[in-house]
Structure 1
Amino acid sequence: MMKKIIILSIALFSISAISCNKFLDEKPASFYTPENYYKSYQQAQNAVNGIYAFTRDFYAAVGLYEEDAMLMLENPTGQAKSDINQSNNNANLRNLAMQTTDLYFNVWWRSSYKGINAANLAIQNIPLISSSIVTDVQKNQLLGQAKFLRAWFYFNLVREFGDVPLVTEPTTSATGLQIPRTATKDVYEKLIVPDLLAAEKSGLPFSDNTGKVAIGAVKSLLAKVYETMAGFPLQQKDKLPLAKQEALDVINSGKYTLYQNYDQFRDAANDNKMENIFMVQFAPAIAGNPMFSFTLPSFSFISNGQQEIGTLLPEDTFFASYSASDKRKQEKQFFFSHAPNFSTGVDVQFKNGQHIYKFWDDVAQASGQYSGKCFPIIRLSDIMLLYAEAQNEADGTADANSYSYINAIRARANLAPLTGLSQDQFRQAVWRERNHELCFENITWFDMVRTRMVYDTKNDAFVPMVGYTFPGNNTAKFQAKHYLFPIPQAEIDANPKLTQNLGY
């Protein structure tokens, strides 16, 4: 069994393969420029490794009040609340009162373009290396990783901000670009889809438990892209058969398996394998994952010195929306309401009720260090549910595979199998399962904007986003402008060719 490889910026670290008995080493490396770089396979690999580094920016602590850019995609779902009220960035999202200067918009925009710039640099220069130094097979695999990552960054950008500048050449600065926005449709058709189709033919292995991009991840992302293109705003329904075929290729590959239980989800030993198709890489003392700390109840003293912040926890009606028999609702499955004081062993009942147990980390809890658990971006359960939805939409009724996939996920949750549903009943069953299974993994918001529907947790129904009011918050009412986030004001100030999204 191979250890996962932590991906670090080439300006700071070099990456080398590690054995299963050796932990991740931090190795400072000299700074490279395009003029003295790309002279060996290791340098080319480091260039690609440097792209991965930017994937962590969205899941790492930022700001002054223990904030995390991933919260941009959780707070406005109506399914999240907080133990604390320190951050305007979080409060504005929960109140749907976003400001163009809010921190998270800058992080998603700037880090995405930094990652894109790093990918552009690798994509431009790797083909120029002599084939006597780096073989064509190696080049294609490196380019496949770079193109996947570039497509992933752009896929996030168009879903979050709509039309964005399309940059395909390296620039001297990843921010302050002096070019106008490109239509969302063109970003998909000119870059995202072509990059993924190229990556699909790059010769990468189908799976890779080191954390690097593999064909399974490429096909999974392509399925998600096609599914999104079939939804709003493009509504290209002809993409549904393509989405279900890419998803089916992943499911039938035999390279990925569902977790048998939720303890396996939390076990860092299962990172980059089993159900995990693509993850953002973390490791203690090198690049720690703050999600465990962010989801611990504030000042509960249930860990060994770990910061206990309570930034993200389930809204009451969302927790109540799980069936009473749903295993995910049971104590210490997806959520928990009490735990022993770390020092005394006395049980602590959390003052705000349920908190998220999904990101619990036994090692971090005992050591007090940041968690080394990788963050899931694509899981097999996501792709199985995606197939079920795409097939039902494309063919007008669910097939045997669709029922098999959703029922496998339901069986793990101790729920009865579904059968004999109409197209709309099955559609809503899949949406409900996606909300309950993939919650707090930065998926729900994207499902909302592609369907323009929101899970009304009070009434266990799906209703149009526009006009929906969050449970317990009469001021948070969706408007059409909320389908997109505002373009960061700092970017508009730096680039006069940028325009702001309507309503901001």
Structure 2
Amino acid sequence: MKNIYQWSLVLLFGTMTACDSLLDIDPEYTQDAENFFNTEEDFDRAIIGVYDMMQPAYLNLWIGEIASDNAIAGGESVNDSRGLHEIENMTHGGVNEELRAVMRVNYTGIARANYIFENQDKADFEGKDLILAEAKMMRAYFYFNLVNYFGDMPLIVDRRISINEISSAPRTPKGEVYQQIESDLREAIGVLPWNVDQTGRLTKGAAMALLGKALLYQQKYEEAATVLGELIDTNQAGYALFEDYETLFLVQNEHVAEDVFTIQFSGLQGGDYGCLVCLNGNAAVGFHSIRQYTGPVYADGNSYNLPTGDLYEAFEEGDIRRDASVLDLEAFIASQPNPDEITYAIGGGGHTGYYNNKYIKRLDELGLPDNDLTSPLNYRAIRWADVLLMAAEAFQRSGNDERARTELNKVRSRADMPAITTSDDALYQDILQERRLELSGEGFRFFDLVRTGQASDKISGFIAGQHEVFPIPQVEIDLAGGNWEQNPGY
């Protein structure tokens, strides 16, 4: 059993799927819990339903790269997934399917977690505290996504919300949402174990890493340094950098010591393009892959989320992470013994000559047909290198350059790169640059640029005071009876 998503999932929530409208998660009063939440098995099925809503991680992976200087949208044409092209060009507005999916998916996850808390007193059994802790961490993760995409968002805790309440649910200030995120994570940390028997379950280390990230995003540097420093110094889970960066992102090297917070996928169940958020496979992998490719190592795909030449050139000479992260397709073909027999096509949505080599289809890693949609490649939401770099940033910003260099150079050493010796702002910039290189193609670049105030200098078309957050989907404003104001500039 590869992970918890291969369990049979009973549909506990009526029509509550990621394809439904925001907060319209259940026909009002048709779902009750009188015949559910009575046994340990019921609670375990319910928590798997919450885990399930983390699987649309491809949205973060796409938007976090395409909105930045790291990638372009690509694809078949500019009309194919138009929303991604609008995000690339910073012309996105209130009508955008990808952004609407972000909102629906995360609120559906929150609603599923809240449903558990609403019924938490119906049964007692050993291990219920762990289920509640898992639900708290995932609720924090969903709210963290929402505030970073949209800013102020309605904060709904421990209960479902009726569709008739939408118009009276105001957008909660971002700071208050972050308070709930921190509270949920601190409570989860107090309960979750360092290690788990079942692959895919959340851990204390994952919750600590996410808390450190939430604090860093709020510029609470000293608090972030404390949490991340404790995680690094205690490290009872045995986290470590995987020795070979060049093979880190292969399926065979999943569930290694570098994995801190990983979203699991399975290649054993298919789906269709009508509901990408409903898949059990990692949709990003097929979409990133080489259009109509015929040749060794790789498999054909849809040529989305294509790295830019700017990213490729940002790597220092000799940095092994460049080719491990960014596939220069023509150079790869030229290095093969039969280059004339290798063919591929260029999509009309843009072409850079580069592909995301971390999340890409390989011939020996294919899931069941349609293998564009059934990749078993897990998504690393936070890995140990990210923890070290977040800690380096938090320590530097709170005045401890020595500790910052220590954590930074652990990451550089794994890549066989020389140690950084700078201090003050030069060190800070080195840390941010290292984040771009180490984590390229993983969906963090846009949010890093925004939170550090560098987006307007790095992203073409970025308007300060507007593009730090994305627009609230207009259809959701309409569903809220016009009670929600659109974000400035949209």
Alignment TM class, shorter chain as reference:
0.7 to 0.9
Q: 1:203 to 1:434 in 2, by over 3 A?
A: closer
CA contact (8 A) 1:256 1:274 kept: yes
Q: 1:12 to 1:372 in 2, by over 3 A?
A: farther
CA distance, structure 2, for counterparts of residue 452 and residue 207 of structure 1: 38
> Shift of the alpha carbon at 1:318?
1.4
Number of the residue aligned with 1:310: 303
Number of the residue aligned with 1:245: 226
> Shift of the alpha carbon at 1:276?
1.0
Give CA deviations for 1:217-258 in whole Å, capped at 9, x if unaligned.
01000100111111xxxxxxxx32221122122223152111
Q: TM-score, normalised by structure 2?
A: 0.83
Q: 1:418 to 1:340 in 2, by over 3 A?
A: closer
> Shift of the alpha carbon at 1:350?
8.0
1:337 aligns to 2:329 (yes or no): yes
Q: 1:249 to 1:409 in 2, by over 3 A?
A: same
CA distance, structure 2, for counterparts of residue 305 and residue 326 of structure 1: 22
> Shift of the alpha carbon at 1:366?
9.0
Give CA deviations for 1:304-361 in whole Å, capped at 9, x if unaligned.
995511011111111111112111123x55434245699x883458864221211244
CA contact (8 A) 1:319 1:329 kept: yes
Amino acid at match of 1:441: E
What secondary structure sits across from 2:55 in the alignment?
helix
1:98 aligns to 2:89 (yes or no): no
Give CA deviations for 1:160-182 in whole Å, capped at 9, x if unaligned.
10000011143255898231100
Give CA deviations for 1:458-490 in whole Å, capped at 9, x if unaligned.
xxxxxxx2x6552xxxxx243320001000111
CA distance, structure 1, for counterparts of residue 158 and residue 451 of structure 2: 29
Q: 1:334 to 1:209 in 2, by over 3 A?
A: farther
Number of the residue aligned with 1:22: none
CA contact (8 A) 1:326 1:413 kept: yes
User: What are the residue-to-residue correspondences of 1:102-117 with 2, within 5 Å?
Assistant: 102-117=96-111
What secondary structure sits across from 1:317 in the alignment?
helix
1:187 aligns to 2:177 (yes or no): yes
Number of the residue aligned with 2:20: none
Q: Structure 1 residues 405-414 or 488-497, which shifts more?
A: 405-414
Q: 1:202 to 1:469 in 2, by over 3 A?
A: closer
Give CA deviations for 1:372-405 in whole Å, capped at 9, x if unaligned.
011110111011001111001102x412x42232
Number of the residue aligned with 1:393: 397
> Shift of the alpha carbon at 1:291?
2.3
CA contact (8 A) 2:212 2:225 kept: yes
CA contact (8 A) 2:83 2:96 kept: yes
CA distance, structure 2, for counterparts of residue 320 and residue 5 of structure 1: 39
Number of the residue aligned with 1:424: 425
CA contact (8 A) 1:141 1:202 kept: yes
> How many residue pairs were aligned?
443
CA distance, structure 2, for counterparts of residue 257 and residue 311 of structure 1: 32
Give CA deviations for 1:138-197 in whole Å, capped at 9, x if unaligned.
1111110000000110011111100000111432558982311000111111x1111111
Q: 1:447 to 1:69 in 2, by over 3 A?
A: closer
Number of the residue aligned with 1:121: 115
What secondary structure sits across from 1:363 in the alignment?
helix
1:267 aligns to 2:226 (yes or no): no
CA contact (8 A) 2:115 2:159 kept: yes
Q: 1:381 to 1:270 in 2, by over 3 A?
A: same
Q: Structure 1 residues 255-264 or 430-439, which shifts more?
A: 255-264
1:435 aligns to 2:432 (yes or no): no
Choose which of 316, 319, 322 in structure 1 pairs with 2:315.
322
CA distance, structure 2, for counterparts of residue 277 and residue 258 of structure 1: 11
> Shift of the alpha carbon at 1:440?
2.0
Choose which of 156, 160, 163 in structure 2 pairs with 1:167.
156
Choose which of 115, 126, 131 in structure 2 pairs with 1:142.
131
Amino acid at match of 1:73: G
Number of the residue aligned with 1:404: 406
1:503 aligns to 2:455 (yes or no): no
Give CA deviations for 1:18-57 in whole Å, capped at 9, x if unaligned.
xxxxxxxxxxxxx995221112212111111110111112
Number of the residue aligned with 2:83: 89
Q: 1:203 to 1:398 in 2, by over 3 A?
A: same
Q: Could you tell me the percent identity over the aligned residues?
A: 26
Q: 1:305 to 1:375 in 2, by over 3 A?
A: closer
Give CA deviations for 1:117-155 in whole Å, capped at 9, x if unaligned.
0000112222331x3xx12xx111111000000011001
> Shift of the alpha carbon at 1:273?
3.3
CA contact (8 A) 1:219 1:250 kept: yes
1:4 aligns to 2:10 (yes or no): no
Structure 2 unaligned regions, length at least 5? 13-29, 270-279, 347-351
Superposed CA RMSD in Å reads 2.8
Amino acid at match of 2:282: N
> Shift of the alpha carbon at 1:295?
1.8
CA contact (8 A) 1:257 1:274 kept: yes
Amino acid at match of 1:194: S
What secondary structure sits across from 1:226 in the alignment?
helix
> Shift of the alpha carbon at 1:293?
1.4
What secondary structure sits across from 2:475 in the alignment?
helix
CA distance, structure 2, for counterparts of residue 407 and residue 350 of structure 1: 40
CA distance, structure 2, for counterparts of residue 79 and residue 182 of structure 1: 32
Q: 1:69 to 1:305 in 2, by over 3 A?
A: same
Amino acid at match of 2:447: F
CA distance, structure 1, for counterparts of residue 109 and residue 459 of structure 2: 36
Q: TM-score, normalised by structure 1?
A: 0.81
CA contact (8 A) 1:486 1:500 kept: yes
> Greater RCO between the two (CA within 8 Å, min separation 6)?
2
CA distance, structure 2, for counterparts of residue 9 and residue 50 of structure 1: 10
CA contact (8 A) 1:410 1:417 kept: yes
Give CA deviations for 1:94-135 in whole Å, capped at 9, x if unaligned.
110002010011111111111000000112222331x3xx12
Choose which of 373, 376, 379 in structure 2 pairs with 1:375.
379
